[in-house]
Structure 1
Amino acid sequence: MGPVILHSVVSVDGFIADANDDVGPLHEWYFAGDTPITPPREDPHYDHSGTGNDFRVSGASAGYVRQMWESIGAIVLGRRLFDLVNGWEGQPPAGDHVVVVSHRPRPAGWHPEASYHFVDGVAAALDRARELAGERTVAVNAGEVGGQVFAAGLVDEVAMDVVPVVFGSGKRYFGSVEGQHLLAGPHVVVPGEGVLHLRFKVQR
């Protein structure tokens, strides 16, 4: 069974979006470099940020991001993010499978060919994602759902792509997690252009 990693791009004060779900400059580094992460897709209109551009990052970031994305077998996210990006039109930025934590089923007629699974509850969603990912990584999107998985002690590592911006308020990386939780490390520190990649193992 592969590791479970909580991941997102985040401001230096710990927010993944503002109160209106606007990511502001958080994803600009994905398109500000000269090194592609992945080959262009046949349908270029949908990607991680919804801008329609190919992912092009700095050389320093490319190796880190490419390796991480290639390791991912399944992504777990909440229904709100799914609705905001329309599930990346069935083509997630990484991984072969997506598990959506939701009380509602897949929208009628929505990309029936895509390996998207709608599961009620974070524990059941993580079990399904692990089954789908096999020995590969399960990446859990940070935010409320990710915070619930983290608080339940089901996360092995925390991965942050820290962008030098202060939001002041908004949607927190760890959602509504309360109390103190210890992390080790960081065991990965990769400075890119406009972003700092960090990874911490969770202490148990």
Structure 2
Amino acid sequence: MGTVIMHNVVSVDGFIADENDDVGPLHEWYFSGDTLIIEGADQQYDHSGTGSAFKVSQASAGYVQAMWEAIGTSVMGRNLFDLTNGWEGHPPAGGHVVVVSHRPKPEGWHPEAPYHFVDGVTAAIDRAQELAGERTVMVNAGDVGSQILAAGLVDEVAMDVVPVVFGSGRRYFGDIDGQHLLEDPHVVIQGERVLHLRFKVRR
């Protein structure tokens, strides 16, 4: 099975959005560089839903592209699904999306979309790994991500740290209880207006 990675862009004080789910300047580095993130030879990534191509600094480009291309399945909570309307049925990365939700897929919503609604984090990771095979399962940070980490189902924590202080909002680690030890970072890449970090979860 592939690696389960919990990931998000995050402020230096640990927030992934404000109280109104506004990400503010957290994603500006995705569009302010000079290197287009591409898949294959001719398809450009556009995961933003804005029609803007992702252009990052040269320092970030190799890391970001390799991470996205490794994703087989993404796991998200219902709140993010509702906020984005599931990107209109087009997964932002990978071939499938697993949504952790007590509610089913909205009736009539993009019936062809490779989205799978699962009640519970353990079942969600089982389904995501089944769909991903040997590829990466990428878990969005926040409340659902923290539940998956607390359940011992996350292999690595990845953070794209942006130099901004939010003061309050939605935390990267949600309302997680207790301490969870990580190894020393095995990826440390300084981009422009972002610092990429990855930590293995200590078992």
- The question of a shared fold, defined as TM-score above 0.5 by the shorter chain, is answered with yes
Structure 2, gaps ≥5 residues long: none
Give percent identity, aligned residues only. Answer: 76
Match status 1:135 vs 2:134: yes
Query: 1:26-83: CA deviations, max 9, x gaps?
Result: 0011111121113347xx7xx33x4331111111111000000011100000000001
Q: How does 1:106-121 map to 2 (within 5 A)?
A: 106-121=105-120
CA distance in 1, matches of 2:91, 2:65: 14
Moved more, 191-200 or 85-94: 85-94
Deviation at 1:114, TM superposition (A): 1.4
Q: How does 1:47-66 map to 2 (within 5 A)?
A: 47-48=47-48, 50-66=49-65
Runs of 4+ aligned residues of structure 1 deviating over 2 Å after TM superposition are 38-41
Equivalent residues, number: 199
> Offset of 1:131 from its aligned partner?
0.3
Q: Deviations over 1:101-126 (max 9, x none)?
A: 01111112212221100001111111
> What CA distance in whole angstroms lies between the structure 2 residues aligned with 1:2 and 1:85?
26
What value does the CA root-mean-square deviation take over the aligned residues?
1.1
- Whole-Å Cα distance in 2 between the matches of residues 90 and 61 of structure 1? 27
1:83-94 matches, within 5 Å, as 83-94=82-93
Moved more, 182-191 or 102-111: 102-111
Question: SS state of the match for residue 26, structure 2?
Answer: coil
Query: Secondary structure in 2 aligned to 1:9?
Result: strand
Residue in 2 that maps onto 1:13? 13
Query: Under a length normalisation based on structure 2, what TM-score does the superposition of the two structures give?
Result: 0.95
* 1:163 is aligned to 2:129: no
Output one character per residue of 1:149-183: Cα deviation in whole Å (capped at 9) or x when no partner: 00111100000000000001110001111211111
Partner residue, 1:145:
144
Partner amino acid, structure 2, of 1:2: G
Aligned residue for 1:100, secondary structure, equals strand
What residue in structure 2 maps to residue 103 of structure 1? Answer: 102
Alignment of 1:177 onto 2:144: no
Question: 5+ residue gaps in structure 1?
Answer: none
- Look up the equivalent residue of 1:121 and give its one-letter code: G
- Matched to 2:32, the amino acid is A
SS at match of 1:161: strand
Aligned partners of 1:64 and 1:203: how far apart in 2? 23
What TM-score do the two structures reach when normalised by structure 1?
0.94
Tell me the SS of whatever aligns to 2:175. Answer: coil
- Give the match for residue 79 of structure 1: 78
Between the aligned partners of 2:140 and 2:186, the Cα distance in structure 1 is 20
Following TM superposition, by how much is the alpha carbon of 1:89 offset from its aligned partner in structure 2, in angstroms? Answer: 1.3
